[in-house]
Structure 1
């Protein structure tokens, strides 16, 4: 495995379709770097800052983006499979349509993000900040959404089946047409104070 690259700033670089297999970056800054169609397998970005970075159509597998800050980045059709994104923040990023399969996105800040039509399946998102997020028509199936911040989240038409919705106050979100399963319906009824009996 290559030696970690620490505290380096990459500015206005063209990394189009770059293969970032097993690369390790610690505390680095990426500003206006083009990572369009780049792929990462087993790469690690720890405590890095991304500003105005293009991640369009990039593919990331079993990689880590922990405690990173993404500002005004473009993740159009980006895919994350089995990635660890714990503790990262996305600020004013273009995240549509984003695909996330498996992995751990706990303690991530996505407040106010536009995630309409996004796909999150089998991912852990404990204590993630989804306040004010637009998830209209999104798929969030089999997701651990325990202790998530939901205030003002738009869930209209979203598929939430099989996800952990404990802690979701149905009155605090826009929920028209959201799809849930029978177990979740009991959980939400109890959250509203109903005594559910057979």
Structure 2
């Protein structure tokens, strides 16, 4: 069987974008209210215990950076690439991500709660326990990404593509999966309402259907 085509992403970052900002300049920008960080690559950056103040990022590439206890809540990201980055106990809640790509990033527990996605991709990422509660998502593409025990409570999803993602024990309370193709994903232990209303209109394969029957308390009798 041919391998599905890899996601191309949404971010339109200038090719071969140079490094025009150092760590101290970035820290100064993060501290200033409504500052902007534009047209630069940041490589191997390490930030810890830093809070932004509504910073806007545009045409920026983060490569091999580490963020630890960094609060990026309320920031705006437009045409931004995160490649090979690591997030430890970070926050991006209430942020707007517009044409943003995450490639081979590790961000367990990262919070996007009450945020807004308009063209975001995750490729080969570790996002277990990610929080997308009450977020508004329009155009999300995730491939080969670990979303185990992710929380999507009252999340609005439109134009979502999930390819070979692990959704084991993910929570989708009051989040409609209508029209979303889950057939290539792992959905064991998925958490939905007792009437399974979140799954109405979702696309699954036969094996997944047999597994979801268990949520109704029904067992399939095996041939003797």
Give the TM-score category using the shorter length.
0.7 to 0.9
The RMSD of aligned alpha carbons is 2.2
- Which of 167, 171, 175 matches 1:149? 171
1:60-139 counterparts in 2 under 5 A? 60-139=82-161
**Count of residues in correspondence between the two structures:** 194
| Richer in strand (by share) | 2
Pick the structure with greater CA Rg: 2
Residue 195 (str. 1) matches residue 216 (str. 2): no
Residue 22 (str. 1) matches residue 44 (str. 2): yes
In the alignment, is the contact (CA less than 8 A) between 2:106 and 2:125 conserved in 1? yes
In structure 2, the partner of 1:42 is: 64
Residue 162 (str. 1) matches residue 175 (str. 2): no
Unmatched 5+ stretches in structure 2: 1-22
Distance in 1 between the 2:51 and 2:197 partners? 36
Distance in 2 between the 1:134 and 1:71 partners? 15
In structure 2, the partner of 1:10 is: 31
In the alignment, is the contact (CA less than 8 A) between 2:117 and 2:139 conserved in 1? no
Q: TM-score, normalised by structure 2?
A: 0.78
In the alignment, is the contact (CA less than 8 A) between 2:44 and 2:63 conserved in 1? yes
Q: TM-score, normalised by structure 1?
A: 0.87
CA gap 1:172/1:66 in 2 versus in 1, 3 angstroms? farther
- Which of 196, 200, 205 matches 1:181? 205
SS class of match (1:76)? strand
Unmatched 5+ stretches in structure 1: none
Give the C-alpha shift of residue 34 in structure 1.
Answer: 2.1
1:138-195 residue CA offsets vs partner (Å, 9 max, x unmatched): 1122111112122111101011122121122473443333111222122112322333
